[in-house]
Amino acid sequence: MKSNYIQKETITGVVPVLGNERKYSFIDLFLSTSGFAIATWCYTQGAYVAKFLNFKQMLINIFCFNIVWVLISCLPVLFAVRYGIDLWIWLRAVLGRKGVTVLSIVISLANFGWYAVAANLFASSMVNLANNFGLSLNTNIWSPILGTLCVVLGTIIALGGPEVIKWTNRFLVVALLAVGIIVFIICLTAVPFNDLINVKPAEEAGVTALQRFMLSAEGNVAFAFSWSTQALVMPRLSRTERSGYWGTVLSYGFVAPFFVATGGVMALAMFVKTGVYESDPTTMLATLTTPALGLLSLLLVAFANIGTQGTGSYVNCMIVKSGLPKVSYKLLVILAMIYVSILTIWGGVEEYFGAFISLAAYIQGPIIGMILVDYLILRRRKLSLKSAYNMNGHNSYEYTNGFNIIGLLCIIITCLVAMIYVYNPYSGEIKSNIFLFTTGSGFTAIFGGLLYFIASISPLRQYMLKDRNDLDII
């Protein structure tokens, strides 16, 4: 009974995963992470970017900003695999035990908005499929029902844990990759290529070409950051540091941007063909592809969202579990299902898509900067696991009543400075030319890391490094 409990708390809890317990090869991690990364929100993101840029600028923007930031933000994957823990256990050193509890809940609540987008796209896919077979469905009635169905089916996968997720994605992701490549080629040929590359973005009064490019970059940096707090959960199941890092980077840094680019190309092709920018991939697929391929693509796109719901629910519930280790994983999954279902029925996340991803990134950006400084410079890749797990007599990460005041202040100050002086993600207003060099989300990572570094070389260093006496007994 005790061994079964430990095994359960290792896979769906916060207990470190030992080397002989890790079941994910490079291919397993790559496919599972890709299945998580290539949900139809990629198409929505691509359509969002396409409004600002022409064809060439769009491709440069999508791939460059995603690849660079993913390569950097995924460096802590190495410690995730080495220690068999996820980011949020290490963050107890940066934020304090109770700080992790608060931030893990806040960020997961923000992350789950993505799954409402995926569920609504699943509903749209199903409605379009029904229309293709001559069955007209009232979207006001059926969209909430079908979207909730997607959430429920994803929840069933999440309850099965990593093993079910692994086998689900082995089949689904390979099919999706193949269809994605075919769809990309078809979209390039659905309209004359010269017309596609000559589409000019709509000009807005007072917005320069450089500002348009960087507003698009803000979307892509925020998109890259959206993986950061989730990316370091599954790699702990990987057998080697190399496979953990590259399995993660290739998924989020190359596969996901490819599908974002596909969404962007589809949006531009739709504009050439219809004169309207479209963000719903199901409508774009039905319009641009052949009927047979359109049906197949819609079906795969629909079921991709179910797989994403499953993986995303597991990952985000594991994040919350880091802050609330005594709460049952199954209970968290059920609560997540209820929350995402409410967001899905509401449908408001898509309406504020750009502001949503940037606001989420403004919380995640400083954490990325701080964890890199903490991991590489301050703690030099050495963590006290006994303090991280608050074992008797080892309370280095309690700091001030469970909160690392320095880490939390870095986040708060960074968010305020970024919103007041650099870029307001809610209004979309550029406050400073700094935005044209770093973007708003990029600034939060750089500035948050810089603040944390300055604190680490000041007299506050002693407060931040209470764990050094614990290291010789790890």
pLDDT tens-digit map of 79-92: 888 888 877 888 89
Is a pLDDT exceeding 60 seen at residue 38? Answer: yes
How does pLDDT run across 152-174, given as a tens digit for each residue? 999 999 998 877 877 777 777 77
b vs e for 87-108, b when ≥16 Cβ sit within 10 Å of the residue's Cβ? bbbbbbbbbbbbbbbebbeebb
* Tens digits of residue pLDDT in 306-353: 888 888 888 889 888 888 888 888 999 999 999 999 999 988 777 766
User: Do 94 and 371 form a contact (C-beta atoms < 8 A)?
Assistant: yes
Which residues, 6 or more positions from 167, have their beta carbon under 8 angstroms from its beta carbon? none
* Residue 289 pLDDT grade (very low, low, confident, very high; cuts 50, 70, 90): confident
> Looking at per-residue confidence, does 229 or 257 come out higher?
257
Q: Residue for token digits 């917005």?
A: 207
3-state secondary structure of 429: strand
Cβ atoms of 333 and 155 closer than 8 Å: yes
C-beta separation of 369 from 445 below 8 A: yes
> Which residue ranges form the domains of the chain, and what is each CATH number?
22-352 (1.10.4160.10)
- How distant, in Å, are the alpha carbons of 28, 82, 242, 368 from that of 377? 32, 17, 21, 14
* pLDDT score recorded for residue 282: 66
426 pLDDT band, cuts 50/70/90, is confident
For residues 294 and 100, is the Cβ–Cβ distance under 8 A? no
Q: How far apart are the first and last CA of the chain?
A: 27
Name which residue leads in pLDDT, 250 or 111.
Answer: 250
Question: Residue 403's beta-bridge partner residues?
Answer: 400
Amino acid occupying residue 19: G
Q: 366-375, pLDDT tens digit by residue?
A: 999 999 999 8
Radius of gyration of the chain (CA): 22
Residue 460: per-residue pLDDT = 95
Report, as an integer, the average pLDDT of 129-152.
Answer: 87
How many beta carbons lie within 10 A of that of residue 82, not counting itself?
14
Beta-carbon count within 10 A of 327 CB? 14
Mean pLDDT of 392-419: 93
What mean pLDDT do residues 402-421 have? 95
Give the pLDDT band (50/70/90) at residue 474.
very low
Token pair in block for residue 277: 């920018």
Residue 281: other Cβ atoms inside 10 A: 28
* pLDDT at 14 (0 to 100): 65
Kindly state the average pLDDT of the residues 129-149.
Answer: 86
**Residue 461 token pair:** 């260093």
Distances 439 to 46, 139, 217 between C-alpha atoms, Å: 18, 37, 7
User: Which is it for the CA torsion 405, 408, 410, 414, positive or negative?
Assistant: negative
What pLDDT sits at residue 230?
Answer: 66
- Among 68-72, 90-94, 235-239, 359-363, the minimum mean pLDDT is found in 359-363
Contact 41, 121 (CB under 8 A): yes
Q: What is the mean pLDDT of residues 275-293?
A: 72
The pLDDT of residue 462 is above 70:
yes
Q: How confident is the model at residue 151 (pLDDT cuts 50, 70, 90)?
A: very high
Residue 400 forms beta bridges with which residues? Answer: 403
Query: What is the average pLDDT score of the chain?
Result: 84
Closest CA to 28 of 311, 321, 332: 311
